[in-house]
Structure 1
Amino acid sequence: MADPENKSDELKNFHILVGADYFSYFIIGIERVDGINLFLTHNDQFDVEEWWRLDRVGIAPSEQYTVLEVEAMRKVSQSVVKKPEGYQVSLPFGLDARPDTSYQNAVAQLESLQIEFKKDREYFDQYQGVINKYLEAGFISEVKKPKIEGYYMPHFGIKKDCRTTPLRIVFNASAKSKGHKSLNECLLPGPNLVELAYHLLIRFRLNENAMLADISKAFHCVLLDPRDAKYTRFLWREVAGRALTFAFRVVVFGIMVCRFSLSHVPSKQNPADVLSRGATTQQLLNNPLWQNGPEFQRTTGEPIP
């Protein structure tokens, strides 16, 4: 089809027509599978299995969780505790998996930042402002007389054309030393619990009224087990040159399990599921889970079942 001059018999009868946007992936060779002509890709960067999986979205049944995903859910569920300030979780490490400190990577990244700060004072002030807000909100705390242990996350800033958030700090939990594992590689990622967009769009159009909500700094609303804080350290240097070590007290946006930890609540105890599956106003008014929340939300310090 792409070459009208090609009169080959093999191209007279075809069963699959590939659009121009994917044709570049299918330019090497033709193979016959059960009488069907297929253009096959030989591009190592193109994941054919993932492409077909996306093509089946909404048609094929949902895939079951893998063994590692089930183990991640089990570990997170068993670790969740209700504290006065909110919910606390532990990092779901794999069996005997712990990262290298990555300290030298963190030092090198901080030195690179210092060079940029000397050229752009406004960049430094914005960066320092974000650090100060983290401290004021209780998201991080300073580590006094730190030993080099746990894991140090290199970080950098992304400037945004936004009045309320002109700078976002990105923490790299995938940094690692040669021959060692990063923090992300040592964590069980858990399943992707993010709602599929087409599910949301279809339900959005089913009823006359729709409810929308957002949680400010949602990932930072989930507390981190203090025993895991040493794996979320990062370095910072003030104007006077004093070197500081901080550790997160909350789940860090950027680590492998952040979205999973935020999203994972057993369905029978999750009021959001009542609404996300579709419900009338009367059904919401008569639903005790929607009106009162789960039982564990009204207790303090007790493990969530």
Structure 2
Amino acid sequence: MKELLNHIQFHDNHYEVLLPWKEGQFYLPNHYFISSNHLRYLQHKLLRDPDLHSEYNRIIQEQLQKGIIKQVDSPIPGPLVKCIINERVESAHYLPHHAVTHCEPATTIIHIVYDGSAKLSDSDLSLNDCFQAGPNLIPKLFHVLVQFRSHPVAITTDIEKAFLMIGIFPADHYMLRFLWFQDPNKLDSPICQFRFTRVVFGLIPSPAILGDTILHHLDKYNSEQPS
């Protein structure tokens, strides 16, 4: 994660980071056909649940409006992507995605999860196989409980859509593509390509990237504005 922190930047009201690629050379299938086949299956499933279908599309359209994702017009690349650390090859990788729902008393929360572990076969690589996972920065429960007993006031907070608040350097956007429909209500709708500009939920280094970015932010303002 030292490499990540050495390149972290604050740009356009959010931090931007490099993805933590493993060193070496990897041949990674682009997974376009996995993603397109999965998308057609997902469409049939969503059309059986109009509320889920509507919310799924709303989330994608909202992310497009906010610049979290962007539509791309480049043609489908060849079947293989060569990933070399610090030396990118012009190609792309596609992430399958699906819905995860959390039912609460007043509402049902829907998250779109992108499968960075998808692979064609056991002998192939997934996108997550090409990343360093990074350290586990989740505080141990014992330390949290002790801290709550150490001061007269305890404060807790939550970052809305935390992963999506951290940008990815443009050099890595091409590896974070996914597919969605031009008109998701039509079974014969053309498929469009999109790319993420932010950290994706479903990639193995995402929790460490989030944790490191938060610690970097706190250290920065602790030195600039000590309490």
Structure-1-length-normalised TM-score: 0.62
Pick the aligned partner of 1:167 from 103, 110, 132: 110
Return the offset for 1:156: 0.6
Cα distance change, pair 109–266 in 1 and its aligned pair in 2 (3 A): closer
Q: Which has the higher strand share?
A: 2
State which structure, 1 or 2, has the greater radius of gyration over its C-alpha atoms. Answer: 1
Equivalent residue, structure 2, for 1:122 = 51
Identity, in percent, stands at 28
Distance in structure 2 (CA, Å) of the matches to 1:130 and 1:266: 25
Choose from 87, 108, 125 the match for 2:15.
Answer: 87
Give the partner amino acid of 2:136: N
1:131 paired residue number = 60
Q: For 1:109 and 1:208, how far apart are their aligned partners in 2?
A: 52
1:216 partnered with 2:160: yes
- How big is the alpha-carbon RMSD for the aligned residues of Structure 1 and Structure 2? 2.4
Sort the Cα spacing of 1:273 and 1:184 in 2 relative to 1 into closer, same or farther, 3 A.
Answer: farther
SS in 2 for 1:169: strand
Question: Where do residues 1-305 of structure 1 align in structure 2 (5 Å cutoff)?
Answer: 73-98=1-26, 99-148=28-77, 149-162=91-104, 166-178=109-121, 179-237=123-181, 238=183, 239-240=185-186, 241-265=189-213, 270-271=218-219, 288-290=224-226
The Cα shift of 1:290 comes to 3.3
CA contact (8 A) 1:232 1:247 kept: yes
Match of 1:299 in 2: none
User: 2:171 aligns to what SS in structure 1?
Assistant: helix
Separation in 2 of the partners of 1:120 and 1:268? Answer: 42
Unmatched runs of 5 consecutive residues or more in structure 1: 1-72, 275-286, 292-305
Distance 1:86 1:263 in 2: 15
Give the match's secondary structure for 1:158.
Answer: strand
Q: CA offsets per residue over residues 62-119 of structure 1, 9 Å max, x none? A: xxxxxxxxxxx13212221221231111111111344321122111211111221332
CA distance in 2, matches of 1:269, 1:121: 41
CA positional deviation for 1:165: 5.7
Where does the alignment leave 5 or more consecutive residues of structure 2 unmatched?
Answer: 78-90
Q: Which has the higher contact order (CA 8 A, sep 6+)?
A: 2
| Greater percentage in helix | 1
**Distance in structure 2 (CA, Å) of the matches to 1:127 and 1:210:** 36
- The TM-score with structure 2 as length reference comes to 0.82
